[in-house]
Structure 1
Amino acid sequence: MGYYVKVEPDVKIYVEDVNPGGDKTILFVHGWPLNHNQYEYQFNVLPGKGYRCIGMDLRGFGKSDKPWHGYCLDRMADDVRGVVEALQLKNFTLAGHSYGGAASIRYMARHAGYGVSRLALFGAAAPSVTQRPNFPYGQPKENVTALIENSLNDRPNMLRGLKDIFFFQNVSTALGDWFFDLGLVAAGHSTAKVAQSFRDEELFSDLGKIHVPTLILHGIHDKICYPELAVAQKEGIPDAKLVWFEFSGHALFYEERDKFNSELMKFIEH
């Protein structure tokens, strides 16, 4: 079931709601530069286990509106709040990958975890994607600046190159094309502006404001959000559990999908 939620007078967010009758709800927030379809291999399985799986496309991506404005963590968190209120979600698990993980963390801090009983982070882009004086573990800032420039000058080529560092395992040409197509659906300006957001914004002060059980899943071969980010999340979030994925890069939701689904269900059930 797909529908739109208005989060601003001129902005609608697309929501895919699978198994609305499920008794355990997960709201999935996707990573950059994809959309909710990245979770296909979760939506294939979890609804059959009794879960209501909701995927939202962040503004600028997938089927959501693509305005010129609003590509910062505060606005993304407010968009999540708009979806939560429109669907009247309560006692749900908020689950975010990469930039979607950063937006989920900002939601927890900015909106005091409204309605959320558990938080799940997958290769999350927090507390900082880029290196800082007090945090040397991120990407060199010039690497992300190059992504921004490439997004604005030859976005298809940028997406082809991104695939090579997104996955650790070899994937089929067809699956690489699928990944490419997910990224291509986004607007070019949205792709660049969100990259600016994760280059320049940080979430150090947000981590300590999370007061629900938190699951951190992270690939040890992640070349986008380095494993040190997961360690910092574990240290900064009071009630957090970290599970490493030994055969995954940034795409652990696909590369070790059976383990991913199992760990997520186990976390929600206990």
Structure 2
Amino acid sequence: MEYYIQVEPDVKIFVEDLNPRGKKTILFIHGWPLNHKAYEYQFNVLPKMGYRCIGIDTRGFGNSDKPISGYDYNTLSDDIRGVVEALNLKNFTLGGHSMGGATAIRYMARHKGYGVSKLALFGAAAPSLTKRPNFPYGLPKETVTKLIQETYNDRPKMLRDFGDIFLFQYATQPLQDWFFNLGLEAAGWATADCATTFRDEELFCDLEKINVPTLILHGIHDKVCLFKLAEVMKQGIKNAKLVPFEYSGHGLFWEERDKFNKELTQFIEN
């Protein structure tokens, strides 16, 4: 099923709801600069295993509305709350990749984990994607600033260059083109504003507010959200389990999809 959910007077969020009568629900939040279709290799498998899989397009991306503002973590997490309430979701697993993982963490803190029984983070951009005076583990802020500038100057080239560091494993040119085209479906201003958010915002205080079992899946070769971020998240989140993906970069949900799907479903069932 596909539908739109109104989260603000001028903003509708696109939702794909697979196997609505499934035994357990997973709400997937995609990463930057993609959309919910990035989880194709989960959606191929998990609904057939009996899971209800809900993918949403973040505002500004995919088929969702593309307002000129609202790309901070607070607003993005409020959008998730709007979807959760509209679908009356309860006792579900919230999963987020990259910036979507950071948004999921903010949801847990800002909305007190409303409806969530378990949290799953995939190469999450938290607690800070960029280096800070008290946090030496992220990317240099200048690197993200350059991404923002390139988004406004030549977004297709920026997406191609980003694609070069997205995966660790070999990917065919058609697959690279597919990821590239997912990025093109976004609005340029949304792409840039979200990059500004993950450059400037941080979630250190949010981690300690998470009080549900948490699974952290992270590629050890991740060049976008460095693996050290996963170790910091594990230290900061109570009852967190970290599973390193030894043959993955940032796209672990494709690079080691069988392991990814197995780890996620085992986590949900246990």
State the TM-score, normalizing by the size of structure 1: 1.00
Q: How does 1:145-164 map to 2 (within 5 A)?
A: 145-164=145-164
The RMSD of aligned alpha carbons is 0.3
Q: 1:96 is paired with a residue of what secondary structure?
A: strand
Distance in 2, matches of 1:242 and 1:14, equals 31
Q: Aligned residue for 1:43? A: 43
Q: Aligned residue for 1:172? A: 172
Q: How does 1:109-188 map to 2 (within 5 A)?
A: 109-188=109-188
- Establish whether residue 106 from structure 1 lines up as the match of residue 103 from structure 2: no
Distance in 1, matches of 2:239 and 2:109, equals 15
Distance in 1, matches of 2:113 and 2:58, equals 18
Q: 2:12 is paired with a residue of what secondary structure?
A: strand
Q: Aligned residue for 1:266? A: 266
Q: Deviations over 1:33-55 (max 9, x none)?
A: 00000000000000011100000
Shift of 1:23: 1.1
Distance in 1, matches of 2:261 and 2:237, equals 22
Q: How does 1:183-194 map to 2 (within 5 A)?
A: 183-194=183-194
Distance in 1, matches of 2:162 and 2:257, equals 20
Which letter does structure 1 place at the counterpart of 2:42?
Answer: Q
Which letter does structure 1 place at the counterpart of 2:156?
Answer: P
Which letter does structure 1 place at the counterpart of 2:48?
Answer: G
State the TM-score, normalizing by the size of structure 2: 1.00
Q: How does 1:219-258 map to 2 (within 5 A)?
A: 219-258=219-258
Q: Deviations over 1:162-199 (max 9, x none)?
A: 11100001100000000000000000000000000000
Q: How does 1:189-228 map to 2 (within 5 A)?
A: 189-228=189-228
Runs of 4+ in 1 over 4 A off after TM superposition: none
- Establish whether residue 80 from structure 1 lines up as the match of residue 107 from structure 2: no
Distance in 1, matches of 2:91 and 2:131, equals 35
Which letter does structure 1 place at the counterpart of 2:56?
Answer: M
Which letter does structure 1 place at the counterpart of 2:16?
Answer: E
Q: 1:154 is paired with a residue of what secondary structure?
A: helix
Q: Deviations over 1:73-115 (max 9, x none)?
A: 0000000000000000000000000000000000000000000
Which letter does structure 2 place at the counterpart of 1:10?
Answer: D
Q: Deviations over 1:2-61 (max 9, x none)?
A: 100000000000000000010100000000000000000000000011100000000000
Q: Aligned residue for 1:71? A: 71
Which letter does structure 1 place at the counterpart of 2:249?
Answer: G
Shift of 1:244: 0.2
Q: Deviations over 1:103-155 (max 9, x none)?
A: 00000000000000000000000000000011000000000000000011100
Distance in 2, matches of 1:109 and 1:92, equals 16
Q: Aligned residue for 2:7? A: 7
Distance in 2, matches of 1:225 and 1:152, equals 22
Distance in 2, matches of 1:2 and 1:175, equals 25
Give me the identity figure in percent.
70
Residue correspondences, number: 270
